[in-house]
Amino acid sequence: MSTEKNSNKQASFGKLFGSAKKSSKGKSSSGRNSEEDIRKLTRTELLELLIDETKEADRLRAENERLSEELQKCHDDLDRVASFEAVIARLESIVNGK
């Protein structure tokens, strides 16, 4: 399956799924059409969409983990800088005789 075709399916699936979710409270004719459209997708198409969504979720989790590690490094650097500044201030006070 080509990437473009798969992207189009994902986009249409997102629209269909969103419409079907919204219509579950009050069944409108468009909601029923969306549910019917979802039902028309083959199992293979649904599995492909699920796999793509899972890959995207995994990618986002990995990116979140990477950003969390970067944030922790920034916190560590900030703590280190604050400690250095405290040491420098203490040394200056000693040198200045305060």
By CB atoms closer than 10 A (0-12, 13-18, 19+), residue 34 is buried
- The backbone torsions φ and ψ at residue 54, rounded to the nearest 5 degrees and listed phi first, read -65, -40
Buried b (16+ CB within 10 A) or exposed e, 2-31: eeeeeeebeeebeebeebbeebeeeeeeeb
Report if residue 13 sits inside a domain: no
Report if residue 10 sits inside a domain: no
The full length of the chain comes to 98
Q: How many domains does the chain have?
A: 1
Report if residue 73 sits inside a domain: yes
- Alpha-carbon span 12 to 29, nearest angstrom: 18
pLDDT the model gives residue 36: 79
Report if residue 14 sits inside a domain: no
Residue 72 has pLDDT above 70, yes or no: yes
Residues 72-83, mean pLDDT to the nearest whole number: 90
- Alpha-carbon span 73 to 4, nearest angstrom: 39
- pLDDT tens digits, 49-63: 999 999 999 999 999
Report if residue 24 sits inside a domain: no
Domain range for residue 42?
A: 37-96
Q: Which amino acid is at 94?
A: I
Report if residue 19 sits inside a domain: no
- pLDDT tens digits, 10-37: 565 565 555 444 444 444 445 566 777 7
Report if residue 15 sits inside a domain: no
